[in-house]
Structure 1
Amino acid sequence: MVILTTRIYFSAPRITNVQQHTIQEMLSRWALGTLHSYKPTEHGVMKQTLFIHTSTGDYVFKGNPLYPGQWKEEQFMIQQLKIHTKAPVPVPYIIDSAEDLFGYSYVIMPLLPGVHYHDLDKLALSEEEDQVILSKLAAALLELHTWRTKEAGEYDPETEDLRPFHQGLYSFSKEQILYWLEDAKKYSPIEDADMDWVHEKISAAEPSFCDIEMYSFVMGDYKSENILIQQNAGEWEVSGIIDFTTAYFGDPLADVVKFTNQLLWKGQQKRAGFFLSSYLQNAGLPSSPNDISSRLSIHFLYSLVLKWGEIHATGQYDNKNPMTFREFASHHLDIVTSIY
């Protein structure tokens, strides 16, 4: 069975059998020194990760893969990003396929320095400082997008290379939206009028996807939890970008969605607008403003389909202010359009 790296995983097996002596055995295997301490990471992906502090440095351990080929995929992306971009990624990314220590394969990589953007709320930064950081976050994303290919596609762990999307990026994007919209019906009301509205939005955007000549690396998960920031000689910089398990090649505009939404869901429209505008103003995309707006609407629509299903499945839906899906999505899309 072929594993699609762009699938979404809501749960996974957690790391088990982690004991001090097994961690030390692992460190000795890779000549990484003597164990000082270890602890689960606060924002670990699917509870797969640990921080490990040793006599030779600080590391991140990730174990019990979500799917076959996860480690190879992430290693491929990190190694290629190191070659093609200046992005601060964790290298070396060491894979141990042997299961003798923990009962599953694992990887270990350097712990990159810095804090997450949401941690900066504790520092009471000035608006000017905050905007400097947001512009750095936009620039770091643009740097990721300098790795380009002629075809849209994703990593195939069976061939250990990129596999083009069979019917192109537009069809792939359409299928993703419709698949998760159908899935959302299990938890929430999706009316025929909602389906018609979504189909109309998707169809209207098709010409804008035909305008793309080169496809960029798309991280697929560019959000606060996966970005590290630090001050270096008094200047803010992005010091680390982590987690490449949902990466693919497509429209770079898709990558602005998660971080922009994180700010919007918190009611931080001004920050969201500054980040998004900073990205768009420096992207140099060879597309018309209308095409850019059209593709953005599709990428945000995809995120809203997922959000709609999530808030209903987890009991977060506000029954006091009922809305149809199209009302919910239209409202958010209008906000997005107003901030750039």
Structure 2
Amino acid sequence: MRLDTAREYSQRLGTLSGAQLQAALDRFDLGELLGAEPAQIGLFGQNVFLTTTRGGYVLRGAPRPDWQFLKERFFTKALHERTDVPVPWPYLVDPSEDIFGWSYVVMPKMLGLQIGDPTVRSTLTAADRRRLAWAMGENLARMHKLTWPHYGEYDAETGAIRPIEGIFRDWVIARVRQWLDRCRAASEATTEADVAWVEEQIAKAHAALAVPTQPTLVHQDYKENNAAAERTAEGWRVTGVFDVGGAYFGDGEEDLARSVATYAREDAELARGFLAGYQANRALRPGFAERFPLYMVADRLVIWQYGQRNKVWFDSNVLFREWASAFTSLRLL
């Protein structure tokens, strides 16, 4: 690749030259740049696929907040060291901004197909989709072998997990109400009736939230867009999981919501297959049927708030309960 070649890779990253990309590779002795292409998926446009004389890599830049990559490295390292889940390691962070004007990461590009890419997905058969959903559930169960002594979130000041205040049930409920407040601030599409409906879900889940569980990794955005996979003689195998910037330690069952909802939009059978793959490797705790609708509400509030704030994804005449109840009422078991 010519080092004097420059192109815009995304709105967020802007125009990057071959010389800049080579300089980033040189920081970690990763070979001579042969090619660079923008990633075709990803909401925020942070990634560039690099091919060098030493292999394939991903450059990830323009963090937001500025400690994003340190948090991602923390959880990627924990998954690498304490589970058999394939993750991009080493996760090489350069905190300096002299090359691009922002800090960046270079990590190995995971083997397999980028299964979130629509062009890849369009080549898959119905049987492929079913087996892949099962494999995603199976892989999430393996991820949930990563536990912690306490519930908590990454603390950028200490580089460690800051314990939550109070009990887990109250923390979950407080976070649901916080996202509900954000949704109401974002638009008028979250009404008083929607608030009352969310409070009903909280009440229904209240007792089940007290069922004890070991604090477990929650990816928070676990779905095909953040994974790679390959066909095997038995079906499909997940070959990579990434984008752990939203991770924390909570109830692993929370992590089921994003994929269940994503699959259900395509075919409810895929959602059930995903959950079956998970259950084949990790049992659901007593009270799941009462807890999970609230976990789904929590996940849908995150998506709803983003869509309402940025005026994307949703018709202006749709209200929150009307949209979210289709997911909370899914028959999964």
**After superposition, where does 1:88-107 map in structure 2 within 5 Å?**
88-107=86-105
- After superposition, the C-alpha distances for 1:256-292 in whole angstroms (9 at most, x for unaligned) are 11111112223x111111112332343224x32xx11
Give 1:192 deviation, angstroms: 2.8
Judged with a 3 Å threshold, the aligned counterparts in structure 2 of structure 1 residues 311 and 242 are, in CA distance, closer, same or farther, namely closer
Contact 1:150 1:213 in 2 (8 A): no
1:241 match: 241
**Does structure 2 conserve the Cα–Cα contact (< 8 Å) formed by 1:190 and 1:324?**
yes
Identity, in percent, stands at: 27
SS of alignment partner, residue 159 of structure 1: coil
How do 1:1-340 and structure 2 match up within 5 A?
A: 14-16=12-14, 18-118=16-116, 119=118, 120-127=120-127, 129-185=128-184, 186-232=186-232, 236-266=236-266, 268-285=267-284, 287-288=285-286, 291-310=287-306, 312-313=308-309, 314=311, 316-318=313-315, 324-334=319-329, 336=330, 338-340=331-333
Residue type at the aligned position of 1:115: L
- Alignment-mate amino acid for residue 173 of structure 2: K
**Aligned residue type for 1:141:** L
Q: 1:304 to 1:29 in 2, by over 3 A?
A: closer
| Cα distance in 1 for residues equivalent to 2:123 and 2:319 | 39
Whether the 8 Å contact between 2:136 and 2:277 is mirrored in structure 1 is: no
Distance 1:272 1:198 in 2: 23
Q: Which amino acid aligns with 1:111?
A: K
* TM-score normalized with structure 2 length: 0.88
- In the alignment, the residues of structure 2 paired with residue 100 and residue 211 of structure 1 have an alpha-carbon distance, to the nearest angstrom, of 50
The number of residue pairs the alignment matches comes to 320
Task: Report if aligned partners of 2:130, 2:270 keep a CA contact under 8 Å in 1.
Answer: yes
How far did 1:307 drift? 4.1
CA shift for structure 1 position 309: 4.0
Contact 2:132 2:235 in 1 (8 A): no
Q: State the one-letter code of the partner of 1:33.
A: G
Kept after mapping to 1: 8 A contact 2:148/2:249: yes
User: Counterpart of 1:188 in structure 2: which amino acid?
Assistant: E
How big is the shift at 1:149? 1.8
Q: Deviations over 1:91-145 (max 9, x none)?
A: 1111111221112111100011122335554334253x43332221111100110
CA contact (8 A) 2:115 2:227 kept: yes
Offset at residue 166 of structure 1 (A): 1.2
Which segment drifts farther, 189-198 or 46-55? Answer: 189-198
For 1:22 and 1:101, the matched residues in 2 are separated by: 6
Structure 1 unaligned blocks of 5 or more = 1-11
Secondary structure of the structure 1 residue equivalent to 2:81: helix
TM-score (norm 1): 0.86
CA contact (8 A) 1:60 1:109 kept: yes
